[in-house]
A and B are shown apart, each in its own frame.
Chain A
Amino acid sequence: MEPIRVIPEKCTGCKLCVKACSYDAITMVEKKAVIDLEKCTICGACVDACKKFEAIVIYRQTFEGQDISKHAGICVYAEHHRGKLAPVVLEVIGAAKQLKKDLGENLSSILLGNGVRPLAEELISYGVNEVWMIDSPEIGDYSEDIQAELVSEILMEKKPAIFLGGGTVIGRSLLPTVAAKILSGLTADCTELSIEEIDGRKILKQTRPAFGGNIMATILCKNHRPQMATVRHKVMDEAEKVGEDHQGKIVEFNHISIPEPYIKVLDFVEDVTEKISLEDADIIVSGGRGLQDPKNFALIEKFAEQIGAAVGASRAAVDAGWIPYSHQVGQTGKTVKPTVYIACGISGAIQHLAGMKSSDIIIAINKDPQAPIFDVAHYGIVGDLFEVIPEITRQLDGEG
């Protein structure tokens, strides 16, 4: 990242900066200011001199004494895969729109990729005011080092007060990289966001589970900007489309040069054991150690097939090798939020609950009436699943 840069489109060639610089570091080339980085000490005098046009930007932030008064607005990182926005992005936009009600500032989104303009239109259709976009073949496949670099530069230039991303594998890796580059605070995997007025300033209040979901913590980032957070998938409500009269604009950042990727993508291998993706499923049937044997997992699979559900599992079932890791629900597996979650032979350890607690309806089948799963279940049957599940199947069939 260059520490300081002139934005050519904004430079009027007025030379105020040349006069302001005590290090002789600025010259005019074809009526645009050019900064000699060898001489520049990043003192900021030129930035002050150019206040009116804002054509000079310092990208290097120091940890102390940040001027946070200029930061405004909420920005959302638009993660996308193979031509589609990641589902979590709509949830983050949904959360951001709620915050916007209290903050009253612009909602923007950073979109980087190759051939992503249709996604920019889509973001606008969900209520984003400005899409900060770089659409270039040079970006190519998702390369984290490039994305982190470009996101950091755009944030330093546009100065949003809040920057949010999805709590996906990508989001939870990209945002900490950005936070470390621009020296701001980041809260991981938030389940609740709100704006609170503290000492006359509107601050983002971030709440998240910690200690494996045993406790909740509320976290603030008072003196650094942007206030950054990743948002847990499947917790916030998706943004709804806005009416035709909503006007958004696309702002392109062609003056930022795209670095060579340091990390190269060779290929992507999709997990094919999932019939219905857990994240998108309407109903999930999950099995745990109570199934006792890999053969018995077929019982879960058959039940799931009968009612058109996806198959989930507890870590105990995954660790035993009964079903691949991609089916694991929980703190270290997937977070799901189906309409109906049916837990069979799962005790309901806090780490499992972390991944499914926000399901609309939870149904538990367990032979131990004390099992913690019954503390979160809306409905349940205490009993042996080897009797209960076939009986459910029978009665459903009988009905049909």
Chain B
Amino acid sequence: MKIIVCIKQVPDTTNVKINPETNTLIREGVESIINPFDTYAIEEGVRLKEKFGGEVLILSMGPPQAEDALREALSLGADDAYLLSDRAFAGADTLATAYTLAAGIRKLGGADIILMGRQAIDGDTGQVGPGVGVNLGIPCITNIRKIEQIDEDTTITVERLLETGYVRLKTRLPVVLTVVKEINEPRLPSLRTMMKAKKKEIIRWGKDDLEVDPNRIGLTGSPTQVIKIFTPPKSPRGKIFENGETKERVASLLRELKKAGINLKGDEERIKDGTD
């Protein structure tokens, strides 16, 4: 079975700081990591390979330093890694990214399963997976929490997480799947796999290596345009009770709430709804 995993290198947004004077992101000192959701995609790819045989290829579009992320992916058990990197790819929105990644996948000869993360934590869009599916002319199913079964390399049954539960779906390969974290628990690299990954060559392709229409890549190929970035306005601090006995603090809170017309207890209807 041939598996391609698309990964993105992103800034670690849990540690992002805002410069209060300029209202911009402080990029220095922010570590670059593999998009957390993509680590589940890599793990799932490696597990499928362990079960069915075949190979796991990693594909990413990004600047040259994204090689670090690819090397890390290799140390997690992938076989080869490819980086689509070219100035002409820069500034791509999800439409152009999906188009370019699909061109890379085609150059790799396609795959049985293409795995991606549910969303990238920088853009938070989750739009690239479905876009890759359309560009390859194959279905994409998002939010996969389990691959239940694959029969004779042609049909696949998956569980897709929805707001109120999950739905079981069946389709034919090839397919694009985007995964959520419930799907598995990623392994850590071992010293041996890290050494092996270090020696591997990461293959880099530019726009002339791919069959792409120059009008559909990078900034030119992106219909959407970011015109402004700002930090969300901070609201003034509310009524926080810090001092005195617990009893007094609770009493003050309930008094304030009552003044504001909020009665935590009062509504019999609601309580009845809640307990049946």
A residues lining the B interface (CB < 8 Å): 63-64, 81, 144-145, 168-170, 172-177, 179-181, 183-189, 209-224, 262-271, 275-277, 279, 282-283, 304-310, 325-326, 331-332, 334, 339-340, 349-351, 361-364, 369, 374-384, 387-388, 391-392, 395-396, 399-400
Contacts and interface: CB of A to CB of B under 8 A. Distances in A.
B173 to A, nearest CB: 11
B156 to A, nearest CB: 10
B92 to A, nearest CB: 12
B273 A186 contact: no
B169 A219 contact: no
A188 B124 contact: yes
A397 to B, nearest CB: 8
Given A221-B224, A400-B265, 14 more contacts: A63-B213, A176-B94, A179-B127, A180-B98, A184-B223, A186-B224, A211-B121, A215-B229, A215-B231, A219-B226, A264-B171, A275-B275, A276-B273, A332-B181
The prevalent SS among residues of A at the interface is mixed
A325 B249 contact: no
B21 to A, nearest CB: 15
Interface of B: 11, 13-14, 16, 18, 25, 93-95, 98, 118, 121-131, 133-135, 139-143, 157, 160-172, 180-182, 213, 215-216, 221-232, 234-235, 237-242, 246-247, 249-251, 253-254, 256-257, 260, 262, 264-265, 267, 270-275
B271 A173 contact: no
B123 A210 contact: yes
Contact of A219 (B160, B225, B246): B225
B229 A217 contact: yes
Contact of A269 (B166, B182, B224, B271): B166
A210 B122 contact: yes
B45 to A, nearest CB: 21
28 contacts: A144-B139, A169-B161, A169-B162, A173-B141, A176-B94, A176-B126, A186-B94, A186-B224, A188-B94, A214-B25, A218-B226, A224-B223, A263-B171, A265-B169, A266-B157, A268-B167, A269-B167, A270-B164, A270-B165, A275-B274, A308-B274, A325-B182, A331-B124, A332-B118, A350-B14, A350-B16, A395-B251, A396-B265
